[in-house]
């Protein structure tokens, strides 16, 4: 598994915005399949309406040895509380301070940028249209926290 993905392991809590809406978010990331991949459980709720909840299950892994530059290809899978119709595979690449992964849907791509600095994590999501124009979708700032079961979802 790429070092940049493995660094995400542990539990994180923080706040952010999704489509302009303020949210609280918790992320639990842990190794799976004999440490070959990382599973990420994310749960969020709107600050203005705690009943407005969302959950996602992400899986990340590498495709082999890193390149000479240290960048490694990353594969992933996104599934969320919108159900199977929204599930999609992704591809990305390691960066010096994290990794990027893109999930391509028929009408646009969702580019996820994960960045880690010590016990601080930022996760930014932008949409990218067919003309490569990017628009902000979500942005979170999280800090390491004690692990506990996520409260959102069932």
Does residue 18 contact residue 44 with C-beta atoms inside 8 Å? yes
pLDDT band at residue 93 using 50, 70 and 90 as cut-offs: very high
Report the distance separating Cα 58 and Cα 78, nearest Å. 5
Closest by alpha carbon to 11, among 145, 128, 124? 145
CA 72 to chain centre: 17
Measured CA angle at 92 (ends 88, 94), to 5 deg: 145
What number of other Cβ atoms are within 10 A of residue 1's Cβ? 18
Report the distance separating Cα 104 and Cα 9, nearest Å. 25
Q: Kindly state the average pLDDT of the residues 93-109.
A: 95
Instruction: State residue 130's pLDDT score.
Output: 94
Q: What percent of the chain has pLDDT over 70?
A: 93
Report the distance separating Cα 103 and Cα 105, nearest Å. 7
Domains assigned to the chain = 3-144 (2.40.128.20)
Does residue 38 contact residue 49 with C-beta atoms inside 8 Å? no
pLDDT at 65 over 90: no
What is the per-residue pLDDT across 4-41, written as a single tens digit (0 to 9) for each? 999 999 999 999 999 999 999 999 999 999 999 999 99
pTM for this model (two decimals): 0.90
Q: Kindly state the average pLDDT of the residues 81-91.
A: 93
What number of other Cβ atoms are within 10 A of residue 121's Cβ? 23
pLDDT at 68 over 70: no
Average per-residue pLDDT for the chain: 92
């Amino acid at each position: 598994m790429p070092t940049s993905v493995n660094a995400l392991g542990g539990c994180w809590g923080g706040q952010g915005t999704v489509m302009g809406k303020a949210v609280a978010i918790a992320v639990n990331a842990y190794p799976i399949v004999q440490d070959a991949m990382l599973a990420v459980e994310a749960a969020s709720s709107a600050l203005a309406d705690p009943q407005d909840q969302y959950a996602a299950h992400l899986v990340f892994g590498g495709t082999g040895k890193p390149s000479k530059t240290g960048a490694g290809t990353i594969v992933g899978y996104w599934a969320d509380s919108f159900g199977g119709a929204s599930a999609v595979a992704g591809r990305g690449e390691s960066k010096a301070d994290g990794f990027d992964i893109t999930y391509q849907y028929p009408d646009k791509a969702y580019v996820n940028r994960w960045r880690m600095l010590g016990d601080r994590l930022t996760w930014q999501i932008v949409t990218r249209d067919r003309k490569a124009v990017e628009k902000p979708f979500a942005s979170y700032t999280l800090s390491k926290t004690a692990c506990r079961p996520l409260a959102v979802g069932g």
